Amino acid sequence: MGDSNNQFLSDGELVEMRRSLLDWYRQQGRTLPWRNEPDIYRVWISEIMLQQTQVKTVMPYYERWLERFPTVQALAAADLQDVLKLWEGLGYYARARNLHHASQQMVNEFGGVFPEDLEKILTLKGIGRTTAGGILSSARNLPLSILDGNVKRVLARLVALDVPTNQAIATLWAMSDQLIDPEHPRDFNQAFMDLGATLCTLKNPDCPRCPWQQFCQASQHHTPTDFPRKALKKKVPTKRLVAAIAYNSRNEVFIQQRPETGLLGGLWEFPNVEGNIEATIKRLFPDAIYKKSLATVFHAYTHFKIEVEPRVYRIKLVEQKEGWVAIADLHNYPFSKAHLKLLIN
């Protein structure tokens, strides 16, 4: 493949690949609410939600978000709590905090307008090169390439890349740069993502229907699912936590908020520790009476798993108001997935 200096495809192959992909896209491309959307704010929201999350999961969140925060200004003025609440269940909460933070950057530094200059966009929190390329190609038809998970997988298969994709990032960017159709960058990038999401899937690539089969080394000489090569996985550790569900005679439970930075920042949870919760609960409420333990809850994050044993405590009527929330009002607070599971335990 390829005929000259660092070009992995010949000019003729590039032309043919662009043409065949765009033909396929015009017939088979997905209809998505943010596609052909000229409002760059909306495109930004969709790009961030689609990171690590599938289209069908994103759809209802996207609609609700735009109803609640229709503009950069509305988002910037919102309370972070409300933003997290709307994001609840979508995972990777840093994305919601970054959207909120970046909207305030736009208001403070760019006059409340989404910047259209690549350098400025890259200063916004949570936006890297591929997201910037996705936004500007989609909303403004600018010829900026992308390299999301779907695109990496297709590229690795096209050239039967013999190392994991994280060891060949510069090469993969160069390939995406070469492939993008300078005359139809919006459609090309959208088509590229669709190809990865619908035909060149992780487990069941549908090569006979793929417009790029004749160019694809993995399909022609190997088993496509052998690519991308897997990076050696570290064993995922398990954290064992005990959470205290403390209630009082006003039908309230005690919850606390995590610090705004870090994992699950800004979300609410029951007091919890690794190991013995007794000291913590006695420090908070010296008269706490242990009632019972509930079924252990399990949850997997990207880099670790947790097991949470919920222990229920009765607290005598307390004067202190802070942290006590009526059970009927708990749904107003954004909780992490694991602590949501405790709520319905």
**How far, in whole angstroms, is CA 80 from its chain's centroid?**
18
Q: How far is the CB of 7 from ligand SF4 (least distance, A)?
A: 19
- Smallest Cα–Cα separation from 65: which of 94, 93, 96, 40? 96
Beta carbon nearer to ligand SF4, 44 or 215:
215
Q: Which residues carry out catalysis?
A: 47
Name the one residue in this structure whose structure tokens are 């007794």. Answer: 278
CB of 55 to ligand SF4, least distance (A): 18
Residue 171 burial (C-beta neighbours within 10 Å; 0-12, 13-18, 19+):
middle
Any contact of residue 219 with ligand SF4 (CB under 6 A)? yes
Q: Does 191 bind ligand SF4 (CB under 6 A)?
A: no
Q: Compute the least distance from the CB of residue 27 to ligand SF4, in Å.
A: 16
199 is an interface residue for ligand SF4 by CB under 6 A:
yes
Closest CA to 243 of 306, 324, 329: 306
Cis peptide before 228 (omega within 30 of 0): yes
Chosen residue from 62, 212, 268, 313 binding ligand SF4 by CB under 6 A: 212
**Which of these ranges, 17-25, 44-52, 150-158, 231-239, lies near ligand SF4 under the rule CB under 6 A?**
150-158
E strand or H helix at 305:
strand 305-314
Helices 94-109 and 80-87 cross at an angle (nearest 10°) of 140
Are 65 and 45 within 8 A, CB to CB?
yes
Check residue 228 for interaction with ligand SF4 (CB under 6 A). no
| Of the candidate residues 49, 136, 218, 264, the single one contacting ligand SF4 (CB under 6 A) | 218
Q: How far is the CB of 221 from ligand SF4 (least distance, A)?
A: 11
**Site of interaction with ligand SF4 (CB under 6 A):** 154, 157-158, 199-200, 205-207, 210, 212-213, 216, 218-219, 224
